[in-house]
Amino acid sequence: MLKNFLIILLVGSLFGCGYQPIYSKKNNLDYPIKSWVLSGDKKINRSIISFLNLGEKKSTKEGYELILDSKKTLETISKDKKGDPSSLRVTLVVNLLLNIDGKLVKEKQFNEDFTYNNNKNKFELSQYQENIEINLINEISQKIFVFLKL
């Protein structure tokens, strides 16, 4: 009896408090974006704009201007006896600015990095690097989405 009461109380409190999953309405941001300015790495910027579902709808008259500046760096962490890289690190940095009427409203820098070992097969290494980059872009995109949602 007590167990049933606790379950009903828990379910009732979840529905009564207005709980809503954060990703339930992906295109409904708290900040309406009327335009965006992209600089830096085009692939990163396009992926972020696609994830935020901003598309080509620049017709909104009122809203914020989103400025994205992205950069990708690949550095060698360690080398083997021959001098070939044995460990690498890829770092993605995205600076986000949110303006309205030329005034800065919000600003934040998002960083993600990943360290991995080198591979002798260069094709497999390039495919692995591509997958790493996509995963890092998705992580940054999710962080930007949460930042713009709150």
3-state secondary structure of 124: helix
- Fold exhibited by the domain 22-149: Double Stranded RNA Binding Domain (3.30.160)
Looking at the predicted structure, is the pLDDT value of residue 105 above 60? yes
Asked if residue 69 lies in contact with residue 98, where contact means CB atoms within 8 angstroms, the answer is no
Q: How many CA atoms lie within 13 A of 15 on its CB side?
A: 5
Distance between CA atoms of 133 and 143, rounded to whole angstroms? 15
Looking at the predicted structure, is the pLDDT value of residue 3 above 70? yes
| Span 81-92, pLDDT tens digits | 988 889 999 999
Residue ranges per domain, the chain? 22-149
Asked if residue 70 lies in contact with residue 98, where contact means CB atoms within 8 angstroms, the answer is no
What is the pLDDT, as a whole number, of residue 110?
95
Two tokens, residue 27 = 């295109």
Mean pLDDT across 110-124:
93
Mean pLDDT across 111-116:
94
* Model pTM score: 0.77
Least confidently predicted of 29-38, 53-62, 135-144:
53-62
Mean pLDDT (the chain, rounded): 84
